[in-house]
Structure 1
Amino acid sequence: MMQDWKQILIPYEQAVEELKVKFKSIRNECRRLDEYSPIEFVTGRVKKISSIIEKAKKRQVKLEDIEEKIEDIAGIRIMCQFVEDIDTVVGLIRDRNGKDLKIVEERDYITNIKESGYRSYHVIIRYTVHTAFGEREILSEIQIRTLAMNFWATIEHSLNYKFKQDLPKHVKIKLKNAAEAAFKLDKEMSEIRDDIMEAQEIFQAKSSLVHEILEKIQELYFWGNINNIEEIRQEFFKLHEEGNFNKLKQFNKKLDRLKEEYNVRTIL
């Protein structure tokens, strides 16, 4: 039976890895272009065999029907900074519908909060993987939530595991209060979203500029054969410590002029 489970789960493991790569690539592309990414980070997992059997038993699903009736054997979780980003990510998934995935169902637990206080947006998809034995189309669940929602959900999951899904009443009350506090935090962060994003953009722009300057200093060192390279380094360190973005931009232009003067090649 274990060999059967292994064969069943291999395509799910492949799907999780492929989907993680696809959504991480969106985040990475945005960051390389110095643009804001609605995706903060991505995780994924395949349900443990014991959890699959337990869920099948709870839902009265026959083991031979689990692949069609249990949608979250493969699960992807996408975390966002702001509640508004969730709609953006859902839109990105909808844009892929009919291309590399098929949307089966959407479940909005942010508008329709669960009794426990749980908030998240779920998208059930069909995803095709190419295995050594041919194509397999499997069900997978994508959960999109904020960092605060994810923190709460992780704690709730741990407590449910500890109490075997039978939480004491006082724990349920505290958890529900904590869920409201987490959502209040999300709302307050949304109110200053523009300021946060502007600060992050400035930080990213400065990081990119510093990286660019260091590359140019390296190019001048290797190809320029200039005598005052140590003075240039010390000038950069001083400006970097000072942290004035405009002065760093001016210094970067100075390096461009030096590169032209010494006919320095760009390192690829």
Structure 2
Amino acid sequence: MNWEAFLAPYVQVVEELKVKLKGMRAQFEYESQHSPIEFVTGRVKPVPSILDKAYQRNIGMEKIEREIQDIAGMRVVCQFVDDIYAIVEMLRTRNDFTIIEEKDYIEEKKDSGYRSFHLIIEYPVETIRGEKQVVAEIQIRTLAMNFWATNEHSLNYKYEGQIPKNIKARLKRAAEAAFKLDEEMSKIKDEVQEAQRVFHTNKNKPIE
């Protein structure tokens, strides 16, 4: 397989979505409103990771495009849990891609303790052979969820998916602590946002 040609549309999806999602954040700032988007990242899954996932799930090469849904992956990180659902609602109203599946791992966390909201989308890409519908994944999570998930991913890589039981137990406790932090911060959300508005206003005042 010519991987460079195969992955080109996915690279395009990631770059275009980065621009659009960062544009959403900028629009809130222009209007001096709280932005539910803290930051946006994106990546195309490396070829060895694609092959490893295909092998683990017994996916044939001809089915990779449809069955591996996170070859193009976007991550939207927020301050508050409420922000996650606000972003989901905004993405549901867009007409530049189609949501084909939603996975709410906040209401129903994974056994590991993982929490996040996943949207699987079909995004139209213009290629030299016409329009191509590319499957991509958008993950939306809080800063605390992202911190936990990043560390869990590193441990999974280190232990090749076989994290020792004692570390798994600590990870679960850490996941609950992270969510408790999210819950506590949600209780003072209005205070935090007001402070941020004051800071943003003062920062943009002209120097006399």
For the criterion TM > 0.5, the same-fold answer is: yes
The residue that corresponds to 2:73 in the other structure is 75
Give the counterpart letter for 2:77 in structure 1.
M
Equivalent position amino acid for 2:7 in 1: L
Give 1:34 deviation, angstroms.
1.0
Structure 1 partner of 2:133: 137
Give the aligned residue type for 1:195.
Answer: E
How many residue pairs align between the two structures? 208
Instruction: Please give the root-mean-square deviation of Cα atoms over the aligned residues, in Å.
Output: 0.8
1:224 alignment partner in structure 2: none
* Cross-structure match for 2:9: 11
Higher helix share: 1
Q: Deviations over 1:21-48 (max 9, x none)?
A: 1000010111122111100100000001
Of the two, which has the highest radius of gyration?
Answer: 1
Give the residue type in structure 2 aligned to 1:136.
K
Superposed displacement of residue 134, structure 1: 2.3
Residues 38-74 of structure 1: CA deviation (Å, up to 9, x unaligned)? 0010000000101101111111110111001111000
Gaps of 5+ in 2: none
Alpha-carbon separation, structure 1, partners of 2:115 and 2:126 = 33
Pairing 1:16-27 to 2, within 5 Å after superposition: 16-27=14-25
CA distance in structure 1 between the aligned counterparts of 2:78 and 2:125, rounded to whole angstroms: 27
What stretches of structure 1 move > 3 A for 4+ residues in a row?
A: none
Identity over the aligned pairs, expressed in percent?
A: 55
Confirm whether residue 183 of structure 1 aligns to residue 179 of structure 2: yes
**Distance in 2, Cα, partners of 1:156 & 1:64:** 31
Amino acid in structure 1 at the alignment position of 2:10: Y
1:107 aligns with 2:109: no
In structure 1, runs of 5+ residues without a counterpart are: 215-235, 237-268
Q: Which has the higher strand share?
A: 2
Aligned to 2:48: 50
- 1:98-177 alignment runs, 5 A limit: 99-177=95-173
Alignment partners' CA distance in 2, 1:159 and 1:69: 25
